[in-house]
Homo-oligomer: A and B are copies of this chain.
């Protein structure tokens, strides 16, 4: 998506360890009209999917998911990291390895909010090795819902998460796929959607 690639080139910051910071507009400070444009684009790409619910994971996915959900007119459910005293009853539960925080955490979702009748679109800000996405997919599978696909804002194409999921037949739509990064430049994979 050209708008996003231009914004990453303008405001993204590359840090050692293949970290791409987009915290001035996406996941610390949030540019709301801009993220609404991303929502429109996800809707364009998943226009044919009968989505009933958007699933994401705390924390940085939630705001994006809420803005995206407006374009699908469906509720958001967000999976929570670690046990909370306020969460009781029946839970879907899985474990996720965090690339960013270098630890394993529990991910939980109340069974009340996802069932076999649902058609789920997973939304998240980043996809690198795909661990968070795999965790959310396990929850969807356990619920019996249909996974329609995953909508990702920024995919790190040089890590194997996205391509590995596509090889498994999962529909992964990333609005920008970073193929390589250096201190002063970011290269994107050609976007087949830009000519549609």
Contact = CB atoms under 8 A, between A and B. Distances in A.
A30 B86 contact: no
A67 interface: yes
Nearest to A58: B59
A111 to B, nearest CB: 11
A31 B113 CA distance: 12
Contact of A101 (B19, B28, B29, B85): B85
A69 B63 CA distance: 11
A29 B120 CA distance: 13
Interface residues of A, number: 43
A32 B100 contact: no
B28 A80 contact: yes
A190 interface: no
Interface stretch (A71-79, A135-143, A156-164): A71-79
A127 interface: no
B29 A113 contact: yes
Given A59-B58, A84-B100, A85-B101, A28 B70 contact: no
Given A67-B66, A86-B100, A101-B84, A110 B78 contact: no
A112 B63 contact: no
Contacts of A30: 66, 69, 75-78
Interface of A: 15, 19, 21, 23-24, 28-33, 35-36, 58-60, 62-67, 69-70, 73-78, 80, 84-88, 100-102, 109-110, 112-113
Q: 4 shortest A-B CB distances, which residue pairs?
A: A58-B59, A63-B66, A59-B59, A29-B113
21 contacts: A15-B86, A15-B88, A21-B86, A23-B110, A24-B112, A28-B78, A28-B113, A29-B77, A29-B113, A30-B66, A30-B77, A32-B73, A32-B74, A33-B73, A62-B63, A63-B63, A63-B65, A63-B66, A63-B76, A63-B78, A84-B100
